[in-house]
Amino acid sequence: MNYVREYIDKLKSGEIVACEKIKKWYIGHIEPIIDDLDEKYYFDEEEGERFIKFAKLCKQSKGEWYGKPIDLCLFQKAKYQAIFGIFRRSDGLRRFREIFDVRGRKNGKSTENSILGLYLTLEEPGAEIYVAATVFSQARRIWEESQSMIDSEVVFQKRFKYKVFPTPTIYTTHKSTYKVLSKNVKTFDGLNASGAIIDEVHELPRQIYDILKQSMSVRKQPLLSMITTAGFVREGLFDDIYDYAKKVVDGVFEDDTFFPLIYELDSPNEIEDSGCWIKANPALGVIKSVEFLDSNVHRMQGDMNFANSVKIKDFNIIGVDNNAWLSYDDFNVETIYTEDELKKFDNTYCIGGFDLSRTGDMTAFTTLLFDTKKHKIIALTMYWITSDFLNKQLEDKACKVPWQAWVDRGLVRISGKNLIDYHDIANYVSSLFQQHGYMYQAINYDSYSAQYLIEELASMGYAKDYCLKATPQGYKTLSVPMQTLEAHLKQKKICYQNNPVTKWCLSNVELVQDRNGNYMPQKNQNNSNRKIDGVATILNCYVSLCENMSYYLDE
């Protein structure tokens, strides 16, 4: 059976409703290979079908399907027949090495992962298969599902053995193993993985993914499989891979080893159309209950906190925590001014703002530039952390924030060992003047611990009180700037250069109000790990901007 051909035909005819990313991937990237029109790759239908036949030997272990053989849905059959059936003409090795599959919750991903773990264990002698998740118990649940499949099938009992203690391990007589990864990241370095399964990527620390990926370097045709829903954590591992997957689907970036499947709504408004729900839930009506999803959609009309969960977990609309100030769509501003475009703002008036920390928080400095022709505001923000802070984050295996990657990209700078060196911020401001001639009409700041930096900036010619303006961090000062910034973000009027650190800070802001309805930002859930320093500096700038809006934007 050519399930890939069947799936593509139904996508093209509209019999199967799917989002544009799925259609673009299968019709644009996979169909030419299936039709034998690709010079680099060929399709072996029978070889690709081996996984599907293997899945039929596995039995369900839960609910109404308990004890019944697993019959994969067509979208699953097409996926695995393509992954295991497409080979390189040059050497006959499998093309795909990494899967990124985003789908709504309760669409069969855990069962699918459990089958895959067993299949990869048998694929070659000496295979090393690992399953990882945010927490050890979640990874173990997938392994335990595989264990149940062994217990319920005589054929498997002859091929597999397992032990639960000390590390849950399934093994074969050919010295292949299938294990749950330890929670201790430091023990991963000796891995020689031929296959890996990662569940719920949106919660996973980047370090685990990197180590698993690197551990496959000596294998001829390894496979790393990620099946996940969208999550609440922004600018972490999920966003990195999701953005990469979009580029591969769109043909912006060529990666022949990467297999991206993004099941999502084409527009958030499609939640109102039950006929579109299957776009994010390909197993709807077979594995996932239509009635259950309908009840969730109905409830979200009167429960905003629940609504955010449904949008993100059932429909893969990229979002943030329920208590967040803004939705992801509100602050997802992807516009970027190029270096040549930014040169046009050299030697112009601007506004600055900084938030100076001494120890655990970031320090940030923002410069607002004004494009009066396009009526746009450009926010350029630099960040600093101490070396001790960075080391602490890298040692924390639960940390999901890619601090080292941001440092490597020059988005965050190291300043001092355990205290931020304020000279670094002063030197940064000086360099902006020397390189670009930025003329700060105002530099707004939180006066806490800022005295030494103020004195140094004053010695550079920035007058106290006139240019250097202490900005109280309270409701009375920040309410109007916060409302104005919210409006500008929603109107896409402010461009923060799609800086991932700034985007992360925006996702961490929670709105608090006093009895008079005035606004003030705070860290989401008052979690000290959720930094908002970049937003704080932009708001400081907005204090002066709101006082002189017509002057800066010529409005």
Give the rounded distance of the alpha carbon of 549 from its chain centre.
Answer: 35
Non-local (6+) Cβ contacts of 98 within 8 A are 213, 223, 224, 225, 226, 257, 258, 259
Q: What is the pLDDT of residue 236?
A: 73
The 10s digit of each residue's pLDDT in 306-361 is: 887 898 889 988 766 656 788 777 888 878 999 999 999 999 999 999 988 766 67
Listed residue (234, 262, 411) closest to 326, CA to CA:
234
DSSP 136-147: HHHHHHHHHHHH
Non-local (6+) Cβ contacts of 249 within 8 A are 21, 24, 25, 29, 260, 262
- Strand segments, DSSP code E, in 391-537 are 412-414, 439-445, 468-470, 494-495, 509-513, 519-523
Check residue 200 and give left, alpha or beta (phi > 0: left; psi -120 to 50: alpha).
left
Q: What is the pLDDT of residue 360?
A: 64
DSSP-derived pairing of the beta strands 363-371 and 349-355:
antiparallel
The 10s digit of each residue's pLDDT in 98-124 is: 999 999 999 998 899 999 999 999 998
The 10s digit of each residue's pLDDT in 69-95 is: 899 999 999 999 999 999 999 999 999
Q: How many CB atoms lie within 10 A of CB 303?
A: 12
Interhelix angle 206-214/237-250, nearest 10 degrees:
60
Q: What share of the chain in percent tops pLDDT 70?
A: 94
Give the rounded distance of the alpha carbon of 376 from its chain centre.
Answer: 27
Residue 245 burial by Cβ neighbours in a 10 Å radius (0-12, 13-18, 19+): buried
C-alpha dihedral, 299 to 302 to 308 to 309, nearest 10° = -30
Q: What is the pLDDT of residue 253?
A: 81
Listed residue (308, 310, 284) closest to 296, CA to CA:
310
pTM over 0.85: no
Spell out the long-range contacts of 409-412 with Cβ–Cβ below 8 A and sequence spacing 24 or more.
Answer: 411/383, 411/499, 411/500, 411/501, 412/362, 412/383, 412/384, 412/385, 412/501
User: In angstroms, what is the C-alpha Rg of the chain?
Assistant: 26
Q: What is the pLDDT of residue 329?
A: 78
Does residue 166 have a cis peptide bond before it, meaning omega lies within 30 degrees of 0?
Answer: yes
CB 142 within 8 A of CB 109: no
Q: How many CB atoms lie within 10 A of CB 371?
A: 17
DSSP state of 323: T
CB 320 within 8 A of CB 232: yes
CB 416 within 8 A of CB 387: yes
Residue 393 burial by Cβ neighbours in a 10 Å radius (0-12, 13-18, 19+): middle
Q: What is the pLDDT of residue 322?
A: 58
Structure tokens at 329: 């769509």
Non-local (6+) Cβ contacts of 503 within 8 A are 234, 235, 331, 332, 496
Mean confidence (pLDDT) of the chain:
89
Angstrom CA distances, 539 to 354, 355, 448, 543, stand at 10, 10, 16, 6
Spell out the long-range contacts of 179-183 with Cβ–Cβ below 8 A and sequence spacing 24 or more.
Answer: 179/128, 179/129, 179/130, 179/131, 179/143, 180/130, 180/131, 180/136, 180/139, 180/140, 180/143, 181/130, 181/131, 181/132, 181/136, 181/139, 181/208, 182/136, 183/136, 183/397
The 10s digit of each residue's pLDDT in 41-60 is: 999 999 999 999 999 999 98
Q: How far apart are CA 90 and CA 92, in angstroms?
A: 6
CB 416 within 8 A of CB 358: no
Q: How many CB atoms lie within 10 A of CB 359?
A: 12
Q: What is the pLDDT of residue 186?
A: 56
Q: Which amino acid is at 365?
A: F
CB 132 within 8 A of CB 181: yes
From first to last of the 555 residues of the chain, give the pLDDT tens digit. 899 999 999 999 999 999 999 999 999 999 999 999 999 999 999 999 999 999 999 998 776 777 788 999 999 999 999 999 999 999 999 999 999 999 999 999 889 999 999 999 999 899 999 998 877 888 899 999 999 999 999 999 999 999 998 889 999 988 999 999 865 555 556 789 999 999 878 777 777 888 888 899 889 999 999 988 887 777 678 888 998 898 899 887 889 999 999 999 998 889 999 999 999 999 999 999 999 999 999 998 877 668 878 988 899 887 666 567 887 778 888 789 999 999 999 999 999 999 887 666 789 999 999 999 999 999 999 999 999 999 998 887 667 788 988 999 999 999 999 889 999 999 999 999 999 999 999 999 987 768 888 999 999 999 988 899 999 888 889 999 999 999 999 999 999 999 989 998 998 888 887 777 777 888 766 567 788 999 999 999 999 999 999 889 875
> How much of the chain is helix, strand and coil, in % rounded to 5?
45, 20, 35
Handedness of CA 178, 182, 183, 189 (dihedral sign): negative
